[in-house]
Amino acid sequence: MESSKLLAKIRLHDKVPRHVAIIMDGNGRWAESRNLPRTAGHRAGMEAVTEVIEGSIEAGVEVLTLFAFSTENWQRPSIEIDALMGLLRLYINKEKVRLRNMGVEVYILGDLTKVNSITRKAIKDIASVTTGGDTLRLNLMISYSGRNDLLEACRSFAEEVSKGEMVPAELSEEILSERLYTAGIPDPDLLIRTSGEFRVSNFMLWQIAYTELSIVFTLWPDFSREDLFDAICDYHLRDRRFGRIVGQEISG
């Protein structure tokens, strides 16, 4: 079904996911299947990012989180890492003003200690330029690990306990959530993984406890607005029970 018809279908529902997260996978395979260098796949993937941002705004999504670079990705060859960081800077410099004009507020979340200074400067720049955007919050996860996110949250709480500012019995889901990179935003309603892989790859392990999963076999550079709308339409059919039985209302 073409994207305009899918969008019309989405707008008939009040069950649009507030927060969509995407594990963008398949850039390398896309390039290799065309006998191109892996960096060509990453460059092509930038176009899919634009498609998904615009599609999210059209569909009424409030928060879009894109898993761009994991802590495990630091193990890749340095030439590929340098190319990825260069592409990130290129994307920021090219898109920051347009994103601001679209009302997109950009956050870069993750352990940025390994990111080089010129890239960190670009990251601060796009965050500053897009501050106050109220159409879509865009989280780009760079050097992110779900396990490390939890570890750092626990360490933060433990430090407060050691200083006498908290006591162990005060630890709750809410207290822990407030110490994660994603503090203050709703957990993902829908997680899309491209390229047909059936795993979450250490991504937002705490936050996706009740998230609906959508596995699509499209490689990321080929992922389109239509694919996004398809996943949202499928989400409409899901019965999110949160441990309850069919037909039981969710209180609160």
What digits encode the pLDDT tens for the residues 62-88?
999 999 999 999 999 999 999 999 999
Q: What is the pLDDT of residue 143?
A: 98
Q: What is the pLDDT of residue 5?
A: 77
pLDDT tier at 110, thresholds 50, 70, 90:
very high
Residue at 249 is within a domain: no
Count H helices and E strands in the chain, helices first. Answer: 8, 6
For residue 249, pLDDT beyond 80: no
Q: Which domain holds residue 38?
A: 17-144+187-236
What is the pLDDT averaged over residues 96-105?
98
For residue 247, pLDDT beyond 70: no
Residue at 12 is within a domain: no
Say which CATH number the domain at 83 has: 3.40.1180.10
For residue 9, pLDDT beyond 90: no
Quote the number of domains for the chain: 1
Residue at 211 is within a domain: yes
Residue at 196 is within a domain: yes
Is the separation of the CB atoms in 144 and 115 below 8 Å?
no
pLDDT tier at 246, thresholds 50, 70, 90:
low
Cα 161 to Cα 156: distance, rounded to the nearest angstrom: 9
Is the separation of the CB atoms in 196 and 219 below 8 Å?
no
For residue 239, pLDDT beyond 90: no
The tens digit of pLDDT for each residue in 136-166 reads 999 999 999 999 999 999 999 999 999 999 9
Is the separation of the CB atoms in 33 and 209 below 8 Å?
no
Q: What is the pLDDT of residue 13?
A: 74
**pTM assigned to the model:** 0.92
Catalytic residue positions, numbered: 25, 73
What is the pLDDT averaged over residues 20-43?
97
